[in-house]
Amino acid sequence: MHLLSAMKTLVHDLHSSPPASRAAVKQCGVCGQSVSALLAKVLTLGALLGAAALASAAALPVDTQRLLNADQEPGSWMTSGRTYGEQRFSPLTQISDKNVDQLGLAWQFKYDLDRVVEATPVVVDGVLYTTGAYSMVYALDAVTGKLLWKYDPQVFRGMQNQGCCDAANRGVALWKGKVYVGVYDGRLEALDARTGKKLWSVDTVIDHERNYTITGVPRIVKDKVIIGNGGAELGVRGYITAYDAETGKQQWRFFTVPGDPAKGDESDTISMIRKTWFGDQYWVQGGGGTVWNGMAYDPELDLLYIGVGNGSYWNYGLRSEGKGDNLFLSSIVAVKPDTGEYVWHYQTTPGDSWDYTATQDIIVATLPIAGKPRKVVMQAPKNGFFYVIDAATGQFISAGQFGSIVTWAKGIDQKTGRPIFDYEAADYWSKGETKTVFPGSQGAHNWQPMSFNPQTGLVYIPQHTTAEEFSPLKTAGKPVKGKYSLGVDIPALPEDKAGRDKLVKLFTGKLQAWDPVQQKEIWSVPYPMMNNGGTLTTAGNLVFQGTAFGELFAYAADTGKRLWQQQVSSAVIAGPITYEINGEQYVAFNVGLGGAFPIAFGLVAENSPVVPDSRLFVFKLGGKEPMPEVRRRIMTPPNPPPQTASAEDVQAGRKLYGENCSVCHGLSAYSANAIPDLRYLTAEKHEQFQNIVHGARAHLGMPPFGGRLKPEEFEKIRAYLIKRAHDLQNDLTSAAKQP
């Protein structure tokens, strides 16, 4: 115990000393022993206790000083983006473009649920913290993969907790011996980092009649833990909230869109932005503007940057009478982290009408602009244009089209920073016309993290091509829990195989290396399908990424040359990390695709061969552990029952399915492999269909619809599923006859 106490004091001395003077710390303030003598004892004790246990006992908790000095601890990965600037760049060089082909498995960990895994792990003092589906938290020995503890927040898996898209969680934050997790049902919880015991829990939801969820990572700035929420597709009002990191007491709340005018404005900022909204529906529909993902912090400017989401409704005509910018939808907003005071904003898509969120990663960096270094924020949001904005003022600097196909705008005015709208191509609300728009609601880049390498000067974007058919509703309705609230008809996949095959060729992806100064692509690597994983870049001239087809890749950061690959059984959408312990560098990939996805992800589900198999894989040079057997999907559908329903009932069932079932099972009865594909229902399941949909499987996560739909509506949905099952069987029969 004396040694551990001495080590704690020594670590404190080292961490509290400026980097340049740390060499002057020669001895421990507790026992007076020399640093070298203590280190020798540390190695001996480490061999006895294990690296993770020793590090946990000896190291200081993560605090402001450690987070500010993250680059002085290149072996750690203390926050989701590694540093406050969220660059996802590692200075580690042991694994490089010269030896990355020698990577082998060090260890792997199997999650409890084969569902969506989107978390970026964090690694501090020998312990790796990560999350799986339904906000379950895991603490693992970062060297061996041994489970130290896990925490299940017991999220109720019923209809009232439905959100877009699947019960995902993107990771945790650490602060002074605590682990913070945003829980899917809207709670923010603090856990003891040593044991996983819950220390406090707060309810962040302002209105439980609406479908608020949390899927994002909490951010820690100074002594505050900051969290946003999701749910704009289901009709909510966006905001972020700061809580005291020690007690959970609310410190401030910042609303991103105006609320009910009859209740008054919460601040002068709300009064300002309300002038950009029109009509009497925006607050009824919720408004949207949720802050569910991208945030970054600049300690020099003391500004917190938040990325704001899409409108609710999507339909600009029903939401705001087709008028106004609708601030702060689809915007980057800078606020003071101490108070939540508004400082500046830049709106990427004024009057957003296509789900063009600006919730994608926000990266803070210094770039050579006009020959001089300038602090900027960078973002590649859904709308297909890459933005460089002054970090201090929000002044527009430049934008370039990184999306392969963009039809909603002809470009960005380089003087004003506003888009040059192509109303002929993209305005579906004014005349009630159906329009096909590029990108679609999944954008040219979604939440999957991008990274920035200051050595190459390039940003590495998981880019993809998508499109969407927007068909406006004529009248507004009231948001209903568990149902999409978009103001447009939910699009469906073509029901003929030829039509789907045509779309498959369109919905492609690529790893894109983008020069933010020149605003142009330097190199790219094409993928046959969209929805590929986030990126990591390192000082070893490397970029790591996983794919929707169950592949892990390493590329040369300067040229894009593929240097290493490994197959896994499930898809990869999360961002990888790298860390170093005891002089050995590791690379970690979270693997696991699940969810409820719009049209494009139905194509992923149908055409990707991956299977449900959620795991964390950790690699090192010369790793010798055997990889699990790679499995690929081979599914033979059962013979569907005969179709006895009328064409009218089948069509009605299609509409009911889209409104009630697609949130979980995917559009047109396709799922993303983890949630059942309802075209494959067995005869037994068809017999049980009424009971299952009514609520017989609520304890297993199948929401009960008994109080919302009538038995005859259940049967219409089943009739539509029978039709889709026959379509599938016909497709397979036709394919078998092809030479």
Which sequence positions are flagged as catalytic? Answer: 355
Distance CA 713, CA 133 (A): 31
* Count of other CB atoms within 10 angstroms of residue 441: 26
Supply the DSSP symbol for 534: P
**DSSP-H helix ranges across 201-243:** none
Tokens standing for residue 689: 């269909």
- Report which residue type is found at 571: A
DSSP letter, residue 584: E
Q: Which of these, 737, 592, 597, lies nearest to 665 by C-alpha position?
A: 597
Reading the block at residue 529, the tokens are: 């399908």
SS3 564: strand
Rounded to whole angstroms, what are the CA distances from 147 to 67, 318, 325, 582? 25, 51, 49, 20
Calculate helix-pair angle for 51-58, 35-49, nearest 10 degrees: 130
Kindly list the distances between the CA atom of residue 410 and the CA atoms of 310, 340, 378, 434, in Å, as whole numbers in the listed order: 21, 35, 21, 20
Residue 435: both structure tokens together: 């329009």
Q: Report cis status (omega within 30 of 0) of the bond before 111.
A: no
Instruction: Identify the H or E element spanning 160.
Output: none
* Rounded distance between C-alpha atoms, residue 355 and residue 315, angstroms: 9
Residue 511 and residue 445: Cα distance in Å, rounded?
11
Cis link prior to 439 (omega < 30° from 0)?
A: yes
User: Chain-centre distance of CA 528, in angstroms?
Assistant: 21
Q: Are 294 and 327 in contact (CB under 8 A)?
A: no
Cβ atoms of residues 172 and 218 within 8 Å = yes
Asked if residue 566 lies in contact with residue 551, where contact means CB atoms within 8 angstroms, the answer is yes
Report, in angstroms and rounded to the nearest whole number, the Rg of the chain calculated over CA atoms.
25
Query: Do 589 and 615 contact (CB within 8 A), yes or no?
Result: no
> Positive or negative, the Cα torsion across 676, 678, 683, 688?
positive
149 phi/psi in degrees, rounded to 5: -165, 160
Sign of CA dihedral 457, 462, 463, 468: negative
β-pairing, 89-90 vs 535-538, is: parallel
Q: Distance between CA 213 and CA 435 in Å, rounded?
A: 30
Which 8-state DSSP code applies to residue 121? P
Task: State which amino acid sits at residue 704.
Answer: P
Residue found by looking up tokens 């919905």 in the block: 507
Report whether 449 contacts 534 (CB < 8 A): yes
Alpha-carbon distance of 315 to 482, in angstroms, equals 19
160 touches 705 (CB < 8 A) = no
Sign of the CA dihedral with 160 first, then 595, 478, and 282 last? positive
Ramachandran angles phi, psi of 305, nearest 5°: -105, 130
Cβ-contact 507, 443 below 8 angstroms:
no
Q: Return the structure tokens found at 723.
A: 């039709």
- Rounded to whole angstroms, how far apart are CA atoms 135 and 158? 15
Residues 6 or more apart from 738 whose CB is under 8 A from it?
Answer: none
Query: Which tokens sit at 301?
Result: 């400017």
State the DSSP string of 69-89: TGGG-TT-B-STTSSTT---E
